[in-house]
Structure 1
């Protein structure tokens, strides 16, 4: 679909690039000739991903360990990257989410999502964008959001609120920064099963089962579809697209609302089972970090 050197000369940062959707997009950018930077809280995971991707595709992947909830740490990482030259593109992918009845949420649970998704995304976008403006460099920002930014979603209120903030940031900065040659867009993908996402959002189901049953096209999304859309948005193929949120979900949001409304039928026992499954996944993740 794309010339194999389409992104030659590009320097792209993918937040949350060590696993899941971020890793998939980073791989595609690398295949197309870009120098790729990935960051995440677990630097060892990003290091392993960088080694894996360079071993498979060649090129250069630079790994950074950073907690994007820390604005100072974000600025230090971006300054370090800029020492080798400006970025050309930013992919805001880092996120966190889990299902919960809102009355069961603690402030800490809310902040666990909002501090990464809303605050962290702004910190990275601001650190990159102000350097682009100061250096008179054009740039692209592509952020991963959700279809719920258009209609909300029960049982994932911290994510719905925080992703809506990214949606608003994208529209606002597209208008404010367009004169500097900076474009911002978002992709709102439907379910593309990854381990962490599936076990925190559909803890009682097999990955993809709910989407397959409800989606108009009867399937989940494919990583290559997300990769191709992300590449197109930064490729220069249509630089007049800015401020847009593009749904990539097989029309599921149009047909069903695309959110977690059906969980209103869960019993207290169902919610307890979900909490137990999410806790088990969190313990598994902590063990990996240890």
Structure 2
């Protein structure tokens, strides 16, 4: 006798949390012009926060800021900055402060990724991902910390689950995100006495994102894999964001929250192993793009 697969529902944060829970608050988000970080920002705005999104492409940021403002009724401003450049981040933070007068929440989400084995990756490519993900997170914290201290606010760092095991073709991101997790833990310990919290969200495969289409051969609506029956939805990460920034999580800091439907516990790889290592040409069709 077979049982029917039970698939986890997709829920909006507005069905659970008050829509004014972040009224008067401000969120600053790197990487907020698209994808997961944009959805995290949108969720915060739907609950009353204003926002500043930072990234390198001003045209894209401006379009996203206008869209977020329109659909949420809150104010979102674009702040152009490369997270590898500390002064650009300081300028973006200064613009945010000039506009809103405060920063309560920070999402450190700027990231870069592509598929490459260790022997096929250049030193510069490895360095670039470390600079964007890990050093970029440090730079973001440095630029925002005085203001987050003043508001007794909170950080969320967007990481991954790749470094929980050896993930082929992902050495650069695994190293970078392990650094992000460690940085968040130290930040939580150092800044907790000043009323600042720091946590990590580690998304698994999230459907309808550039990351999934680039890096995975999974279908975004696949029901084969995660114990909860489906690939992740942007709402899943957004809901975790609202919770961790809310007062409901006021005693949670220094933690890593995987949002992956339990797939990490299956200990599987997206590419066939060891075939993908011994005969890389045989899986080229599965590697959809590079950085």
Query: What TM-score range do you get, normalising by the shorter chain?
Result: 0.7 to 0.9
Question: Which ranges of structure 2 fall in alignment gaps of 5 or more residues?
Answer: 1-15
- Matching residue of 1:269: 281
- Matching residue of 2:138: 122
Cα distance per residue 1:109-139 (max 9 Å; x no partner): 1123111101111100121114444xx4311
SS in 2 for 1:62: strand
- TM-score by length of structure 2 reads 0.87
Work out the CA distance in 1 between the residues paired with 2:193 and 2:65: 35
SS in 1 for 2:247: coil
Greater share of helix: 1
Match of residue 225, structure 1, among 203, 221, 236: 236
Matched positions, count: 273
Instruction: Call closer, same or farther: CA 1:240–1:149 in 2, change over 3 Å.
Output: farther
Question: Which ranges of structure 1 fall in alignment gaps of 5 or more residues?
Answer: 283-290
Pairwise CA distance, 1:146: 1.1
Matches for 1:61-100 after TM superposition, within 5 Å: 61-83=76-98, 84-100=100-116
Pairwise CA distance, 1:263: 4.9
Pairwise CA distance, 1:206: 5.1
Pairwise CA distance, 1:261: 6.3
SS in 2 for 1:108: helix
Q: Is the 8 A contact 1:50 1:61 kept in 2?
A: yes
Q: Is the 8 A contact 1:146 1:190 kept in 2?
A: yes
Higher relative contact order, chain-length normalized (CA < 8 Å, sep 6+): 2
SS in 1 for 2:205: coil
Pair 1:26 & 2:41 matched: yes
SS in 2 for 1:104: coil
Pairwise CA distance, 1:79: 2.3
RMSD, aligned CA: 1.9
Cα distance per residue 1:20-48 (max 9 Å; x no partner): 00111111111111011111111111111
Work out the CA distance in 2 between the residues paired with 1:240 and 1:261: 39
